[in-house]
């Protein structure tokens, strides 16, 4: 009997020493774990991973009991452990191409702009296009839009089309205009504008919105290998910054590249791939035949447009622009003729596809909310998760409609500290009161999902958190925050970058928080943001990025802070 009791006792002790799931493949210790789960489970000391999923979240003592001979142990060294950042709005391939192309974000003067293009042109063979850009004339001393004459002399054999950082206007040099067949007699296309010299009528080289397509159609399409190179560059950047999943506002041409790398097990970022809304019938057919619902790659979303951007003066407003009383913005060609957008969205919604539509100006947002309401009324209740991308400038009367209609505000906080330098001069302080209305939207009960709009803005989520919490503009002129009433807390901003973005992609059952059973997508920062002044946040670095239980990035000590 004593022998039986001894055996039972040993078995019990063995079971205590080897908890269910033993051993873990990976354990994270010595960090402050912020899980995004509600209540007392919001904070923990350690995380254990088995395979591609989270095995345990809780105290360090229990996590240590899950460590076996082959378990990898990551030391968070007092840093913050979070669910992987989910960027709800990127142009991921464009960001990769931007990393490989000319980068004009750091052109702080007109001469910088010219110099950087000239240097890039010297590295290319004659006839090879210069694309990319990210220029912002608002930060130049003159604040003048660039002209083709600025760069013609340094790009006489190199066609150039470089876009402004918002993606709604670009500069073409004379060679690019000639290749596109654009002359003083070329009419403005619907939803676009060819900017012309007021004295001569000649194109200045600036093309807005739909007019940009006149040049895009003559730029050679990237090859499969070039797209693969851009995707790999984009993934490396995302891994470095702790971004574990993105919603890519993409194209059909990008899908075979994604599919190829996914089948080879080479994707290190989860991608929810959106297609252009006008191709809704093609996506319906695709989803009926071969829908992609893989762990690393999914389809089923469509991206559309109502208007342009504030920086290009093409965002649609009820009242004219303060600095241009003749202009209320430009409707995107996608909504013309009126009623077309209703039809496209209704076809998508009938097929169970998700719709995400770009709307910037207050008139554009009202228009889109009305369209969503009509479609929902016709087709009845279901979990459709309509999204408004940017939801940038709102009237107070439209804010409660987001929660009432169940529309997700998919916003990019970095734009607030960028546009806030000059937006008041464009639309006036009264309209700016409900610009990037984070606090008002949350207070009304709306769901707020955050992203970057990369490469329009930096991919780095920490800069987005800083922008949402401080609203301190990049020029330093608003130390208390531009429209400070709309600031939100760090916890709220993190929720928007994790669990809310997972919800916006129908993935909140597997992503966005740290709890057993969810996919093990985790970022470990080298500092605890909650214990730092926000001014120090841009210097914080990512120590580890984990996707599906696999460490895809490790800080070696040589990297620049994530904020750079």
Q: What is the 3-state secondary structure (H, E, C) of 414-463?
A: HHHHHHCCCHHHHHHHHHHCCECCHHHHHHCCCCEEECCCCCCCCCCHHH
Would the pLDDT of 8 be above 60? no
> In the chain, where are the structural domains located?
101-216
Would the pLDDT of 232 be above 80? yes
pLDDT at position 102 is 87
* Rounded Cα distance, 403 and 28, in Å: 37
Average pLDDT, the chain: 94
Quick check: helix, strand or coil at residue 91?
Answer: coil
484: left (phi > 0), else alpha (psi -120 to 50), else beta?
alpha
Please state the rounded mean pLDDT for residues 432-443: 97
Q: Using omega within 30 degrees of 0 as the cis cutoff, is the peptide bond preceding 23 cis? A: yes
Most confident segment among 136-140, 454-458, 496-500: 496-500
Would the pLDDT of 441 be above 50? yes
pLDDT at position 4 is 35
User: Is 189 buried (19+), middle (13-18) or exposed (0-12) by CB count in 10 A?
Assistant: middle
**Is residue 420 a contact partner of residue 478, using CB atoms and an 8 Å limit?**
yes
The rounded Cα 412 to chain-centroid distance in angstroms is: 7
pLDDT at position 168 is 86
Looking at the DSSP bridge assignments, the partners of residue 553 are 545
Would the pLDDT of 175 be above 70? yes
H-assigned helices in 57-109: 60-64, 92-100
Residues 6+ apart with CB under 8 A from 345: 277, 304, 355, 357, 371, 372, 375
Q: Which tokens in the block code for residue 62?
A: 């229990």
Residues 6+ apart with CB under 8 A from 538: 462, 463, 466, 561, 562, 563, 564
Give the H or E element holding residue 202.
none
Quick check: helix, strand or coil at residue 373?
Answer: helix
Give the H or E element holding residue 234.
helix 224-240
DSSP 243-300: EEEEEEE--GGGHHHHHHHHHTT---SEEEEEEEGGGHHHHHHHHHH---B-SSEEEE
Please state the rounded mean pLDDT for residues 535-549: 98
- Token pair 């039809």 in the structure block, residue: 343
**Is residue 487 a contact partner of residue 437, using CB atoms and an 8 Å limit?**
no
pLDDT at position 421 is 94
**Is residue 270 a contact partner of residue 245, using CB atoms and an 8 Å limit?**
yes
- Token pair 């999204």 in the structure block, residue: 387
Please write the tens of the pLDDT for every residue from 395-418.
Answer: 999 999 999 999 999 999 999 999
Please write the tens of the pLDDT for every residue from 97-144.
Answer: 988 888 898 899 999 999 999 999 999 889 999 998 889 998 899 999
- Assign domain 101-216 one CATH number from 3.40.50.620, 3.10.310.70, 3.40.50.300, 3.90.1200.10: 3.10.310.70
Please write the tens of the pLDDT for every residue from 53-89.
Answer: 999 999 999 999 999 999 999 999 999 999 999 999 9
pLDDT at position 100 is 85
Tell me if the pTM is above 0.75: yes
| Position 2 confidence tier, pLDDT thresholds 50, 70, 90 | very low
**Is residue 146 a contact partner of residue 137, using CB atoms and an 8 Å limit?**
yes
CA distances from 246 to 123, 348, 468 (A): 32, 22, 19
* Rounded Cα distance, 175 and 156, in Å: 7
CA distances from 332 to 106, 310, 358, 364, 366 (A): 29, 13, 10, 10, 15
């Amino acid at each position: 009997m004593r022998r039986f009791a001894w055996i039972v006792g040993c078995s019990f002790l063995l079971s205590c020493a080897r908890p269910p799931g033993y051993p873990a493949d990976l354990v994270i210790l010595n960090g402050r774990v912020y899980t995004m789960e509600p209540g007392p489970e919001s904070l923990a000391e350690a995380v254990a991973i088995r395979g591609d999923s989270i095995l345990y979240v809780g105290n360090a003592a229990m996590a240590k009991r899950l460590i076996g001979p082959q378990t990898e142990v990551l030391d968070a060294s007092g840093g913050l452990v979070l669910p992987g950042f989910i960027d709800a709005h990127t142009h991921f391939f464009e960001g990769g191409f931007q990393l490989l192309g000319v980068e004009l974000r750091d052109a702080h003067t007109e001469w910088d702009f010219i110099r950087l293009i000239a240097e890039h042109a010297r590295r290319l063979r004659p006839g090879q296009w210069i694309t990319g850009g990210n220029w912002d004339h608002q930060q130049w001393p003159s604040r003048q839009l660039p002209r083709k004459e600025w760069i013609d002399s340094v790009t006489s054999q190199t066609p150039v089309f470089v876009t402004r950082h918002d993606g709604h206007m670009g500069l073409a040099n004379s060679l690019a205009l000639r290749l596109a067949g654009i002359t003083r007699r070329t009419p403005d296309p619907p939803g676009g504008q060819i900017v012309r010299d007021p004295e001569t009528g000649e194109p200045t080289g600036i093309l807005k919105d739909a007019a940009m397509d006149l040049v895009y159609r003559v730029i050679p399409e990237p090859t499969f290998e070039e797209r693969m190179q851009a995707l790999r560059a984009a993934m490396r950047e995302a891994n470095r910054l702790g971004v574990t999943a993105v919603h890519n506002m993409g194209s059909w041409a990008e899908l075979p590249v994604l599919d190829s790398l996914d089948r080879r097990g080479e994707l290190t970022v989860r991608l929810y791939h959106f297609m252009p809304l006008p191709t809704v019938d093609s996506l319906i057919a695709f989803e009926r035949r071969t829908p992609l619902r893989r762990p690393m790659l999914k389809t089923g979303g469509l991206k559309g447009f109502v208007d342009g951007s504030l920086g290009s003066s093409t965002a649609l407003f009820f009242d004219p622009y303060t600095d241009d009383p003749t202009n209320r913005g430009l409707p995107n060609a996608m909504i013309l003729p009126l009623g077309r957008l209703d039809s496209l969205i209704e076809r998508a919604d009938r097929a169970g596809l998700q719709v995400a539509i770009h709307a910037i100006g207050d008139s554009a947002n009202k228009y889109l909310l009305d369209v969503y309401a009509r479609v929902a009324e016709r087709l009845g209740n279901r979990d459709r998760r309509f999204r408004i991308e940017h939801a940038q400038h709102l009237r107070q009367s439209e804010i409660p409609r987001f929660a009432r209609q169940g529309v997700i505000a998919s916003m990019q906080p970095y734009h607030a500290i960028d546009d806030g330098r000059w937006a008041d001069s464009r639309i006036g302080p009264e309209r700016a009161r409900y610009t990037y209305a984070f606090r008002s939207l949350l207070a009304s009960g709306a769901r707020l999902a955050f992203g970057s709009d990369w490469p329009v803005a930096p991919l780095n989520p920490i800069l987005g958190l800083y922008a949402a919490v401080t609203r301190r503009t990049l020029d330093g002129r608003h130390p208390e925050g531009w429209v400070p009433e709309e600031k939100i807390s760090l916890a709220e901003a993190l929720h928007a970058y994790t669990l809310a973005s997972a919800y916006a992609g129908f993935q909140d059952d597997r992503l966005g928080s740290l709890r057993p059973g969810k996919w093990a997508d985790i970022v470990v920062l080298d500092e605890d943001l909650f214990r730092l002044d926000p001014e120090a946040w841009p210097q914080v670095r990512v120590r580890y990025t984990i996707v599906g239980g696999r460490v895809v990035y490790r800080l070696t000590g040589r990297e620049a802070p994530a904020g750079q």
